Amino acid sequence: MKYIFDPDRLHAISKKGTDGKDLESSFNAILDELENCYPGKINREIRWLENIAGQALGKLAFLYATLSEYVIFFGTPFHVSSSHSGRYGADVWDFVFKGKMDCMPEGSIKWDTYGPGEGAHLERGMIKYYRTIDDTWMLEYGRGSIIGMLRFGVFGHMSITKDWTLTLKQIKAYGRLVLKNFFHK
């Protein structure tokens, strides 16, 4: 399958947000570079959505989405958020541009730490535990079977909070971009 986005390029782009600017400036610097590298592909209309995935509380904004790829801003303004990653038929890269994320891969007993400018890769079929400190933000990229990820990343609201409104908002935001990108190839 041919993918549009390159993880190494996205990692380099995410570093545009690490220069110590305020958070909004970091988002805009990354968005500008994404648009420059992937013209016509990036959704600049940021709609922040509450997210509960594996009991970690966070915020996300879809920048691009299809059935086989997504690019989002993901982060948490909360003090500490920790969770199981989920096990997917997709690869996921998290490129930290503010804060800190610790990851413990399956089979390990030690934390790997990722700070601004660094990236973590969750290979398809694997899991990890992760935790973030307050005000951690990243550019996240997923490729593979994205539909299979929805039961963990989107439907967590239904199983944990029973909040159908949040679940429907995420499905609508994801679906809107999937349809847009399907018809604008």
pLDDT per position as a tens digit, 55-68: 677 889 999 999 99
**Considering only CA atoms, which of 76, 71, 89, 49 is closest in space to residue 142?**
71
pTM over 0.85: yes
In this prediction, residues 88-98 reach a mean pLDDT of 94
Would you say residue 1 lies in a domain? no
The most confident of the ranges 4-8, 15-19, 20-24, 144-148 is: 4-8
Identify the CATH number of the domain in which residue 87 sits.
2.60.120.10
Residues forming beta bridges with residue 74, ordered by sequence position? 60, 138
Question: Is 29 domain-assigned?
Answer: yes
Strand 90-98 and strand 136-144: the pairing is antiparallel
Categorize the per-residue pLDDT at 36 as very low, low, confident or very high, splitting at 50, 70 and 90. very high
Q: How confident is the model at residue 84 (pLDDT cuts 50, 70, 90)?
A: low
Contacts of 6 (CB under 8 A, 6+ apart): none
Is 70 a domain residue?
yes
125 located within any domain = yes
Nearest to 68 by CA among 44, 46, 82, 89: 89
**Is 163 inside a domain boundary?**
yes
Instruction: Name the residue with higher pLDDT: 139 or 158.
Output: 139
Predicted confidence band at 97 (pLDDT cuts at 50, 70, 90)? very high
In percent, the amount of the chain with pLDDT more than 70 equals 88
- Is the Cα torsion angle 15, 21, 26, 28 positive or negative in sign? negative
Domain span including residue 36 = 7-183
How many domains does one find in the chain? 1
Give the pLDDT of residue 54: 66
The answer to the question of residue 2 being in a domain is no
- Mean pLDDT over 128-148 rounds to 90
In a domain, 60, yes or no: yes
β-pair type (69-76, 56-65) = antiparallel
What integer is the mean pLDDT of 129-134?
85
Does 105 map to a domain? yes
**34-48, 110-124, 126-140: which has the minimum mean pLDDT?**
126-140
